[in-house]
A and B are shown apart, each in its own frame.
Chain A
Amino acid sequence: MSEMLRIRELTKRFGALTAVDNVSLAVDRGEVLGFLGPNGAGKSTTMKMVTGFLPPTSGTAEVCGFDVTRDSIEVKRRVGYLPEGAPLYEDMTPLSFLGFVSEVRGIAASERAGAIERAAGLINIGEVMHQPIGTLSKGYKRRVGLAQAIIHDPQMLILDEPTDGLDPNQKHEVRGLISKMAEDKAIVISTHLLEEVEAVCTRATIISRGRIVTDGTPEALLARSRYRNAVNVRTAVAQVDAVTAALEGIEAVDRVETASRGGETAHLVAVPANGAVILPLVGETLRAGGLGVEEISAERGRLDEVFRTLTVGE
């Protein structure tokens, strides 16, 4: 069975507020699902229901075929979870904390040391194992939270903002780790860092006001961008008007935007109508007009723009 998580019509209401509204989705082994959405969209609430922390108002969630309401212990055994903000027992050291988690998780006493060593090695926290968690930096705390989530080598990983508070190097490391673990697990991560979606996710789901607004590969999301296949042109300020006129003359170009203009060079963006491929046309036109440019490149699309359109545009 490759389907690891199935959510059906999951809904959570807090009084009059509907935090999660009729969410359905499935995640297979090998997938890394990026859960995107503005703050308060219902990402964390959905994760809390899937991990058995909050009971759903209606609907179901199944992990490896176990219903989270009826067989919540079986679900919890199979899931590794990093809650939002990575809460930890700050009076413990990572070593004693991981020992505690593996004990509660029922890892045999003889295998505990090995499991802790493996998780600590993967996450790279070996050098702080004996310091109280409360004295660690934000990045280390987050990593201790991650180590806790993978200590039992779970089939399903649910990580709420796993790279929040990490520096760019640590982010890179954690993303590498997620991609590596994805082979034999199903992973759901929530994030509001769009570059993260492109870096690690095989699929992205955007959620807004409790509802799923889109679900597809990052590439499919990019294809919805107005800037899909747009062409960036950098040219000398002196000939901006000529270049703009030439670009506007191309039939497939919808409009030309001036992205920036300062000092010697200006940055123009030729946006195609309906995402058509215009890079060759732009090249030809500029050459034919004898207009020299410093740089010319095509865009795949802008995820942040898609995100804004989908989550604000309603």
Chain B
Amino acid sequence: MRATAAICKRELIAYFSTPLAYVFIVIFLALTGAVTFYFGGFFDRGQADLQVFFSFHPWLYLFLIPAVGMRLWAEERKTGTIELLMTLPVSTTHAVLGKFLASWIFAAIALALTFPIWITVNYLGAPDNGVIVAGYIASLLMAGAFLSIGCFVSALTRNQVIAFVIAAAVCFVFMMSGLELVLAAFKGWAPEFVVDLIASLSFLTHFEGIIRGVVDIRDVIYLVSAMVIFLFANRLVIDLKRGD
């Protein structure tokens, strides 16, 4: 646990010691604002809620989150510091958790900085703040699930650009698997239950369930288990591909 905390702290400081953190936060805040007000018609809807604000998050995460996760392991491989890290008395599980937590905390900081829109909507009307809290939880879980994919893919390569592109593609597939675009590829030949299974894997379906204010424990469990599974895969990859 101590080692996990030390690694998490180091990674978090590493984010803020490069321009990446500031670029990410500024772009994330600018884009959430822009899409909410222009595409989402925040004012025209005439409703005091953050439904449109949250509904755009998965799309922003799709290309922003892989940028947060891409360096975590790929950079260690590229510079050789993975040898330094993995010969310190820390288990692979703890190292994987430390890095993931750092990236998740970073995403949480970016998300927390969207607080002005919460203040705005409370100033303009009387929203159901419970639903908004649920929205933030859903958004954070979604970011965590995407980040776990990002960590896993980053562990597979020493090239950060490849890590970014593949992570974005994998996230896209998981997000869209409930939609016709992905399901059509299976409907022709796969049995009904397989199509249903793939549809149920969609991040988007589970995410939208929560932002409507219905915190279904199954949706939460789904997103958390996605994180656990990808982090477990991350650990396996690190153990199996040390020297490459």
Asked if residues B81 and A101 are in contact (CB atoms below 8 Å), the reply is no
**B90 is an interface residue with CB less than 8 A from chain A:** yes
Asked if residues B79 and A87 are in contact (CB atoms below 8 Å), the reply is yes
Report whether over half of chain B's contact residues are helix, strand or loop; otherwise say mixed: helix
Which residues of B in the span 41-93 have a Cβ within 8 Å of any Cβ on A?
79-81, 83-84, 86-91
- In the docked arrangement, what's the CA distance between A14 and B10, Å? 33
Residues in B neighbouring A77, C-beta threshold 8 A: 89
- In the docked arrangement, what's the CA distance between A105 and B3, Å? 7
Residues in A neighbouring B90, C-beta threshold 8 A: 73, 76, 104
CB proximity of B12 to chain A, nearest CB, Å: 12
CB proximity of B106 to chain A, nearest CB, Å: 15
Supposing A53-B242, A96-B13, A104-B3 touch, asked if A87 and B83 sit within 8 A by C-beta, the answer is yes
- In the docked arrangement, what's the CA distance between A96 and B14, Å? 11
- In the docked arrangement, what's the CA distance between A258 and B2, Å? 66
Residues in A neighbouring B153, C-beta threshold 8 A: none
Residues in A neighbouring B14, C-beta threshold 8 A: 89, 91-92
**B155 is an interface residue with CB less than 8 A from chain A:** no
**B26 is an interface residue with CB less than 8 A from chain A:** no
Residues in B neighbouring A74, C-beta threshold 8 A: 89
**B243 is an interface residue with CB less than 8 A from chain A:** yes
Asked if residues B6 and A104 are in contact (CB atoms below 8 Å), the reply is yes
CB proximity of A285 to chain B, nearest CB, Å: 58
Residues in B neighbouring A105, C-beta threshold 8 A: 88-89
User: What size tier do the contact residues of chain A reach?
Assistant: 20 to 34
Asked if residues A104 and B84 are in contact (CB atoms below 8 Å), the reply is no
Which residues of A in the span 231-260 have a Cβ within 8 Å of any Cβ on B?
none
Task: Determine the residue in chain B with the shortest Cβ distance to A87.
Answer: B80
Asked if residues B6 and A88 are in contact (CB atoms below 8 Å), the reply is no
Residues in B neighbouring A54, C-beta threshold 8 A: 242-243
CB proximity of A105 to chain B, nearest CB, Å: 6
- In the docked arrangement, what's the CA distance between A54 and B242, Å? 7
Task: Count residues on chain B whose CB falls below 8 Å from chain A CBs.
Answer: 24
Asked if residues B84 and A83 are in contact (CB atoms below 8 Å), the reply is yes
Interface residues of B (CB under 8 A from A): 2-3, 5-7, 9-10, 13-14, 17-18, 79-81, 83-84, 86-91, 242-243
**A81 is an interface residue with CB less than 8 A from chain B:** yes
CB proximity of B27 to chain A, nearest CB, Å: 21
Sorted from nearest, which 5 A-B pairs have the closest CB atoms? A87-B80, A103-B6, A76-B89, A83-B83, A77-B89
- In the docked arrangement, what's the CA distance between A256 and B7, Å? 64
Asked if residues A89 and B87 are in contact (CB atoms below 8 Å), the reply is no
- In the docked arrangement, what's the CA distance between A101 and B13, Å? 15
Supposing A87-B81, A89-B10 touch, asked if A53 and B89 sit within 8 A by C-beta, the answer is no
Task: Determine the residue in chain B with the shortest Cβ distance to A102.
Answer: B6
Asked if residues B3 and A53 are in contact (CB atoms below 8 Å), the reply is no
**A85 is an interface residue with CB less than 8 A from chain B:** yes
Asked if residues B3 and A88 are in contact (CB atoms below 8 Å), the reply is no
**A32 is an interface residue with CB less than 8 A from chain B:** no
Residues in B neighbouring A79, C-beta threshold 8 A: 87
**A46 is an interface residue with CB less than 8 A from chain B:** no
Residues in A neighbouring B83, C-beta threshold 8 A: 48, 53, 83-84, 87
- In the docked arrangement, what's the CA distance between A105 and B91, Å? 12
Task: Determine the residue in chain A with the shortest Cβ distance to B17.
Answer: A91
6 contacts between A and B (CB under 8 A): A54-B242, A87-B83, A89-B79, A104-B88, A104-B89, A148-B84
Question: Which of A55, A76, A92, A100 makes the CB contact (< 8 A) with B87?
Answer: A76
- In the docked arrangement, what's the CA distance between A30 and B9, Å? 37
